[in-house]
């Protein structure tokens, strides 16, 4: 379909990323997949390419471009090649918005140059064992010391993407008990240096999909976090989390659309090459109809994802619109990828084929960033229901 979201600069960036993937990622991806993690050194290559600094102001070493369109291209190109960049996506999509919105000038001077260079990789730690999407029910605590110089952090987090390689993690913890009329009150955000005593990385979780993305359990035992690493105001963390969820959910929606588009491409190429009963699989009417139906769904998902992208760049993407985009694109992607895998026959179930990895990678899209059931609740509430 005709698109208007990208200009010549974006397309030049696309060609750079495509060449980078061909030379630096695809030849090594199977090795990373088998190991269940990308090498830490790979993130320095992404930094050298300028990926981490696109949305960072020039005074801190970035390009000073305030747009998510380059992130969108990264989603499309990694999906197109059947690869991913490990846990680095959370560094930009989840970590950076909090720094830009909440950090003081002194904090930006400390954080952002290392963020751009890849010297410090960031992650976000919200979810806890037993709480899931109920963030207000978190048990981790950060108590201010008597002399007021640091917080004493205790607790545990799970499902933390980028948690193994992270050098600094935005940890959500209770700095005050909840109020009777507002259980969300009392949560604060701390930019925790992972080298601090008492901070530990537990298991690297063995996931169904996204196997090269380092997802971990974290534990905190009397970790002394300097007060200088408090992000934003104390006790307002839940409010800050809510502000950034629309951009996170847009990222999931766009990634899902990109995966669906890639699945159609993989299925088309495979069926044109595969011969059954002396004929190309692509020549059968059922194959044509299946691929045509999938393409129509991808076109619709692209339109939704692009519309959300434009709204996000203009600062107008609402929570309900982001939830709607995530719900629609992830559900469409699940259906399209499943149908495209079916067209691969038995080979679609073999991990060396990218469609198999897409199938498992895609499944989490309907879970993280808020389950799709939660998205329906948000949309219904916006409808006045």
Residue 35, number of CB atoms within 10 A of its CB: 12
Q: How many Cβ atoms are within 10 Å of 237's Cβ, its own excluded?
A: 31
Annotated catalytic residue, options 248, 280, 290, 331: 248
Query: 15: which 2 tokens?
Result: 């060609």
E-only strand ranges, the chain: 122-125, 141-144, 150-161, 168-174, 187-193, 199-204, 215-226, 230-231, 275-276, 279-280
Q: How far apart are alpha carbons 326 and 182 in whole angstroms?
A: 28
Token pair 């469409």 is found at 332
Length of the chain: 385
Rounded-to-integer distance, Cα 335 and Cα 182, Å: 39
> CA torsion 226→232→234→238, rounded to 10°?
-120
Number of Cβ within 10 Å of residue 27's Cβ equals 10
Which residue shows structure tokens 């934003």?
A: 232
248 a catalytic residue: yes
Helix H segments across 170-318? 237-273, 285-313
In terms of Cα–Cα distance, which of 281, 365, 357 is closest to 78?
357
The number of CA neighbours under 13 Å toward the Cβ of 346 is 0
72-92: burial string, b at 16+ Cβ within 10 Å, e else? bbbbbbbbbbbbbbbbbbbbb
Q: Which two tokens stand for residue 199?
A: 């901070």
DSSP 23: I
Catalytically active residues, by annotation:
248
């Amino acid at each position: 379909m005709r698109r208007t979201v990208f200009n010549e600069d974006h397309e030049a960036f696309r060609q750079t990323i495509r060449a980078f993937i061909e030379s630096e990622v695809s030849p090594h991806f199977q090795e990373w997949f088998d190991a269940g993690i990308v090498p830490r050194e790979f993130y320095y290559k992404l930094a050298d390419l300028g990926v981490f600094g696109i949305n960072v102001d020039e005074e801190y070493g970035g390009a000073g471009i305030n747009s998510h369109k380059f992130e969108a291209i990264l989603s499309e190109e990694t999906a197109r090649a059947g690869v991913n960049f490990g846990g680095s996506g959370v560094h930009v999509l989840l970590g950076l918005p909090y720094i830009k919105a909440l950090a003081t000038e002194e904090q930006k001077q400390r954080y952002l140059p290392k963020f751009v260079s890849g010297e410090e990789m960031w992650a976000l730690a919200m979810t806890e064992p037993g709480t899931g999407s109920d963030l207000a029910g978190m048990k981790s605590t950060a108590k201010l010391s008597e002399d007021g110089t640091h917080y004493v952090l205790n607790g545990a987090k799970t499902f933390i993407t980028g948690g193994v390689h992270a050098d600094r993690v935005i940890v959500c913890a209770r700095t005050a008990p909840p109020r009777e009329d507002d259980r969300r009150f009392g949560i604060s955000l701390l930019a925790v240096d992972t080298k601090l005593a008492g901070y530990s990385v537990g298991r690297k979780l063995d996931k169904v999909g996204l196997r090269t993305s380092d997802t971990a359990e974290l534990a905190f035992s009397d970790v002394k976090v300097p007060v200088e690493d408090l992000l934003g105001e104390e006790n307002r963390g839940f409010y800050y989390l809510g502000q950034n969820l629309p951009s996170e959910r847009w990222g999931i929606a766009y990634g899902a659309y990109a995966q669906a588009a890639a699945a159609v491409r993989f299925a088309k190429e495979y069926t044109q090459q595969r011969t059954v009963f002396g004929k190309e699989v692509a020549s059968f009417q059922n194959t044509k109809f299946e691929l045509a139906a999938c393409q129509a769904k991808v076109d619709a998902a692209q339109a939704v994802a692009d519309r959300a992208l434009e709204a996000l760049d203009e600062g107008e993407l609402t929570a309900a619109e982001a939830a709607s985009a995530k719900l629609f694109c992830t559900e469409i992607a699940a259906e399209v990828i499943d149908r495209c895998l079916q067209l691969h026959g038995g080979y679609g179930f073999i991990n060396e084929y990218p469609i198999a990895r897409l199938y498992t990678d895609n499944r989490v899209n309907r879970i993280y960033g808020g389950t799709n059931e939660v998205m329906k609740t948000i949309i219904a509430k916006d409808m006045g229901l």
